[in-house]
Amino acid sequence: MDDSLALLRFNCPSPSCDSILLGWGDLKRHSKAEHKHSLCELCTQHKKIFSHEHTLYSSLELSAHMPTEHAQCGFCRTWFYDSDLLYAHCRSSHEVCFICVKQGIKHQYHLNYNKLVRLVSLPVVREPC
């Protein structure tokens, strides 16, 4: 039972470190201060692994990790853990063209309604004053 509980603690992922921290914030501060490396914020939030199984990254390694492991919104430049979360973001924060959707074109998003209207040259419908 003690071995199982030990897995649930916030153990440092560095193989040379035996530190047990109080939570994610404490673990991130420890990693930065003691090891000069960072944890990927998206991985710590979404990846279903124990804290000691995460990878520590130098700033250069983290920069390389982001585009290979995560998805970025081309409009907001915000990173998402995976393409499913990116698509959910795009559906809720950006616009699709109903004409394109009718023609079977999927996942074609536009920054906002005004950008979509300018692209397809449709008249903008405005509420009366």
pLDDT in tens, the chain (129 residues): 466 666 678 899 999 999 888 899 999 999 999 999 999 999 999 999 999 999 999 999 999 999 999 999 988 999 999 999 999 998 888 777 776 777 787 777 767 777 766 666 555 444 443
The pLDDT, as a whole number, for residue 3 is 63
The structure tokens 């419908």 sit at 125
pTM metric for this prediction:
0.73
Alpha-carbon gap, residue 109 to 107, rounded angstroms: 6
Neighbouring CB atoms inside 10 A of 7's CB total 11
Q: Say how far residue 10 (Cα) sits from the centre of its chain.
A: 21
How far lies 82's CA from each of 1, 68, 85, in Å?
34, 11, 6
The pLDDT, as a whole number, for residue 103 is 78
Taking Cα atoms as reference points, which of 62, 84, 89, 59 lies closest to residue 73?
Answer: 89
